[in-house]
Structure 1
Amino acid sequence: MNEEKGSFIALLPLVVFVLLFIGTGIISKDFSNMPINVALVIAAALALTMNRKRTLMEKVETFSKGGGNPNIILMAMIFILAGAFAEVAKGMGAVEATVNLGMSFLPGNMLMVGMFVIGCFISISMGTSTGTVVALAPIGIGIAEQTDISLALSMATVVGGAMFGDNLSMISDTTIAAVRTQHTKMRDKFKVNFFIVLPGAIVTAVILGLITMNAQAAVSQEYSFELLKVLPYLAVLIAAIVGVHVLVVLFGGTLFAGIIGWMDGSYSLSTFFKAVSEGIMSMENLAIIAIIIGGMVELIKFNGGITFLLHVITKRIKSKKGAEAGIAGLVSATDIATSNNTISIIITGPLAKSVADEYDIDPRKTASLLDIFSSCFQGIIPYGGQLLAASGLAAISPVTIMPYSFYPFMLGICGIVAILIGYPKWKNLRKPEKQVKTKATSKM
């Protein structure tokens, strides 16, 4: 019976990690005082000391097995290639060109609606919410200074647009993590995710239009851009939607951006390689974190921690909707604790997969829920990187931005509605025999 229920003690490393990370931040009022990788190393070390029935070498082997899981390693490879592409594209002027392309079409009488739409386009092209915030925040500040639009509203609009792409982009690390942990395809997840959140984006645009319709439009700056420099983002987006393997997409996108940069003089061969290296190094920490989490979760799983969580969650779940709500609540709580939506997905992904298998939830839906709810809270919490970046550039408190975070709130609402109405009702991707086997196992 104990084996069936698992062990709460096995979850101690995860509890210690959360307490170290968020506890240090609350006490010191600075969440950067406890680096997430240090907290993870301490938690992983604790996991290795548990279960005296096994030798240290056996536990190290289990840790290595989890950290070296094909999905974890592939995820790490995708992370570093995404970093290389982002850095190379940025170095050849793709970011500035994409921002200016959007700003050149900004309607004068719908400033915030235009800013939100442009943020959506840029973030889904770049695949990074923080990068979108950094790129658009100065423009949002300028708009607020030249109109009677609140600076907090302007920054919240920038963050909202950034979270749209963070949730949906084919090259976003959250999408990569959600797709890999749920064993589905990016294209399939994108389709499900897009139709769930589209109403939220439309409602957000309507709200922004209504509350700023009388704002004075005094933005007269002209924005110049080279369409050629926007092509790498468009090429990556189209290739990913068509279904090209993500490693090919990112490698090809990096090479394409480098060729354009070489043609316009932005890169020589040596500076191109340097940009690639800097991009890879910028994602090394995330790749290492993914490997450590994979190893720690494997130990927790072996010691009965995952079984315990499943028992606690499933005994309160009476239906598929309840299971989906449980997955949403789990990833939401983890994001609030870690203030990192990618890490929260990596942590909760394996458990979400187990719950999804138990209750026959489509992996496309599970991946979408993980991404939606982690992105929802990431765009709301005042100590998250996105609000901190926006508030830092605008020299205002991140708390003042929270009430205007319309799109992140709408993300959560759309996710809840999708759970309640059972949307989408599409054909499940898993094979029927696997579903039958899962159900039979759950009755034993």
Structure 2
Amino acid sequence: MTQQSKGNAFALLPLLIFVLLFIGTGIVTQDFSNMPINVAVIIASAVAIAMNHKEKLSKKIEVFTKGVGHENIILMVIIFVLAGAFSEVAKGMGAVDATVNLGLSLLPASLLMVGLFLIGCFISITMGTSMGTVVALAPIGIGIAEQTDIPMALAMATVIGGAMFGDNLSMISDTTIASARTQNTSMSDKFKTNFFIVLPGAIVTAIILWIITSASHVNVLEEYSYNIVKVLPYLTVLIVAILGVNVLIVLTGGIIFAGVIGLIDGSYTGTSLIQAASQGIINMEDIAIVALFIGGMIGIIQYNGGIDYLLNFVTSRIKSKKGAEFGIAGLVSIADISTANNTISIIMTGPLAKNIASEYQVDPRKSASILDVFAACWQGVVPYGGQMLAVAGLASISPLSIMPYSFYPILLGICGIVAILIGFPRFKSNS
């Protein structure tokens, strides 16, 4: 089938069905567990394959499996599996308890979420990946929530918020590279513009976290003992990740390091270590399957012209420079909501955004920042995004329970809207 330039609105039906089943059912019944995300995505995927009767079933299955097998989707699944194994192995040898007790001994409960957010900001901006930050910090956030009266969903949302801060800003982030390159501007110029747009959101997020956790207390009132050796797996993972080592190597090394310490101190035998790693992988299987089906469903939607329709729908309504900036924001927002991948959404919409920016005299530093800001905003909010699925899987909670606490991603979008409305920042000359 040859896609028409204006796309096909009907092709978006599977995505609509997925959202209605997953979120709509929970809203109507007041119980989001009534429609598990894995069932919702399988139903929506079946609808996607059943559509487009002019195409042979074999071709539609081929398109679906290519979406499932997209390199970004497969990489995400591998990260999920390794993150699950590392989390379980580290937990079994006492790394989580030791790390959490170290944090509790250094900070009052009222500052734990603020500290977790700031650490997440620092790690993500230095390592340039939100997924790497999420899988490194989520187990610590889980441990903090278990030892205090801080809601688990709040702790996981805080981890995501810190992760999205650096994903949006880091000079080595793939989203920064993609947005700067597609808009033909330098990454340093994009960083400077972007930083001043989002900084208020980060400050306000820290204030909100401090206010809502100011009355928090620790559940176990005793002296927090910890063995610094058991903290080493997390410290090593964080340090190596910050140095820019590939996240797969980081997680694999973390599993081995935590396992070796566990074997030496007697926390594990050879058999129990293998069983712990296996259980961690099993814990993430459901989330991994969901990610695969989402990839396939998006592949069908794109093949049938759904993404093209959304892009044309937005661009046809641009009339002014400010409208152009909102149009670019709308383009990348719709793309991210549809694909649940901020890098892919920027790559998809970047060339079109560049044309819009050139036509309406939008500075490329601003258009690059808008692309990255709104992609990061939605990536930190959509309950079927990789970051949300990862922390929800590790914490064994629904992604929907995390959404109300997504302070930084929401403030990120608000900052972007305000920057467009007031024309901030003002540039002396286009570059």
TM-score (ref. length: structure 1): 0.69
Between the aligned partners of 1:74 and 1:85, the Cα distance in structure 2 is 16
Q: Is the 8 A contact 2:178 2:343 kept in 1?
A: no
Question: How much does 1:69 deviate?
Answer: 1.6
In the other structure, the counterpart of 2:56 is 55
The amino acid of 1:353's aligned partner reads I
Secondary structure at the residue paired with 2:55? Answer: coil
Deviation string, structure 1 residues 22-53 (Cα, Å, up to 9, x no partner)? 22212221111111111111111111122122
In the other structure, the counterpart of 2:128 is none
2:354 pairs with 1:354:
no
2:132 pairs with 1:127:
no
Q: Is the 8 A contact 1:97 1:227 kept in 2?
A: yes
Question: How much does 1:236 deviate?
Answer: 1.7
2:114 pairs with 1:113:
no
In the other structure, the counterpart of 1:307 is 308
The amino acid of 1:39's aligned partner reads A
Q: Is the 8 A contact 2:42 2:293 kept in 1?
A: yes
List alignment gaps of at least 5 residues for structure 1.
Answer: 142-150, 335-343, 379-383, 393-397, 426-444
| Residue of 352, 368, 377 corresponding to 1:372 | 377
Between the aligned partners of 2:175 and 2:209, the Cα distance in structure 1 is 35
- Give the share of equivalent positions with the same residue, in percent: 45
Q: Structure 1 residues 95, 169: CA separation in 2 closer, same or farther (over 3 Å shift)?
A: farther
2:148 pairs with 1:140:
yes
Between the aligned partners of 1:89 and 1:139, the Cα distance in structure 2 is 17
The amino acid of 1:98's aligned partner reads T
In the other structure, the counterpart of 2:278 is 277
- Map residues 417-428 of structure 1 onto 2, 5 A cutoff: none
The amino acid of 2:145's aligned partner reads A
Q: Is the 8 A contact 1:372 1:412 kept in 2?
A: yes
Between the aligned partners of 1:21 and 1:200, the Cα distance in structure 2 is 29
Q: Structure 1 residues 348, 317: CA separation in 2 closer, same or farther (over 3 Å shift)?
A: farther
Q: Is the 8 A contact 1:156 1:405 kept in 2?
A: no
Secondary structure at the residue paired with 1:267? Answer: coil
Q: Structure 1 residues 32, 237: CA separation in 2 closer, same or farther (over 3 Å shift)?
A: same
Q: Structure 1 residues 208, 19: CA separation in 2 closer, same or farther (over 3 Å shift)?
A: closer
Secondary structure at the residue paired with 2:4? Answer: helix
In the other structure, the counterpart of 2:258 is 257
Give RMSD over aligned pairs. 4.6
- Map residues 171-320 of structure 1 onto 2, 5 A cutoff: 199-206=200-207, 221-317=222-318
In the other structure, the counterpart of 2:358 is none
Q: Structure 1 residues 27, 126: CA separation in 2 closer, same or farther (over 3 Å shift)?
A: closer
Between the aligned partners of 1:247 and 1:212, the Cα distance in structure 2 is 34
Secondary structure at the residue paired with 1:54? Answer: coil
In the other structure, the counterpart of 1:321 is 325
Q: Structure 1 residues 89, 103: CA separation in 2 closer, same or farther (over 3 Å shift)?
A: same
What is the aligned residue count? 378
Between the aligned partners of 2:370 and 2:83, the Cα distance in structure 1 is 24
Between the aligned partners of 2:270 and 2:29, the Cα distance in structure 1 is 46
In the other structure, the counterpart of 2:27 is 26
TM-score (ref. length: structure 2): 0.70
Between the aligned partners of 1:242 and 1:96, the Cα distance in structure 2 is 25
Question: How much does 1:180 deviate?
Answer: 8.8
List alignment gaps of at least 5 residues for structure 2.
Answer: 124-132, 181-186, 355-363, 384-388
The amino acid of 2:114's aligned partner reads F
In the other structure, the counterpart of 1:434 is none
Q: Is the 8 A contact 2:201 2:412 kept in 1?
A: yes
Q: Is the 8 A contact 2:298 2:339 kept in 1?
A: no
Q: Structure 1 residues 127, 71: CA separation in 2 closer, same or farther (over 3 Å shift)?
A: closer
In the other structure, the counterpart of 1:35 is 36
